[in-house]
Structure 1
């Protein structure tokens, strides 16, 4: 199954079921908080998924035309851990990108240095 297209997910407000719920147990295991915000309707409406961890925070912004922006910052000094512009035409692709963001936000060691996760990097390149 290819998943729902971006504009369907955003306009019909399906992100809770298609993006948040599949990750709920992993979020709890990693002690990460996720919040979902639907932006004001426009010609290219977006949604934002914010992930907060103990050492980093991140955001996935997904527009109805399929464009995605991923960003993550280290809380200690505000330095950028991830900044990427991608395209996700389906909810499955957006879910994969959200998993990458979770790995980056949750992958900081106690000394706040990023530990690259090979599977996360591979997922992002898809």
Structure 2
């Protein structure tokens, strides 16, 4: 009985790692790595009239070192051709919402863009392209 309980408890604490999403012939990927020295709870990205966001289901802060990935499907989410500007907002504790510098990229299928979020406070957060 005790052996079974120990086995069940260890299975509950096992951390699962999901492989990174890679682009394919129908998708484009935008990834943000959190290298910031402050807590934030969500990242939102807007393009055209579409806004999407990523946050932890339990409402906890985004862990430093973690990567947040947005996937765009050609002809479903966006027409993946031409240049497009994106707006990015970090969401801290309510009601803190900090817009970062907009960026423009060329939309194309089978492409991955990587950015990092840095700074010592949410008010001086910076977004840097790393590829």
Whether these two folds match at TM > 0.5 is no
Question: Which is higher, the Rg of structure 1 or of structure 2?
Answer: 2
* TM-score interval, normalised by the smaller of the two chains: 0.3 to 0.5
Structure with greater helix share of residues = 1
TM-score (norm 2): 0.35
Structure with greater strand share of residues = 2
TM-score (norm 1): 0.36
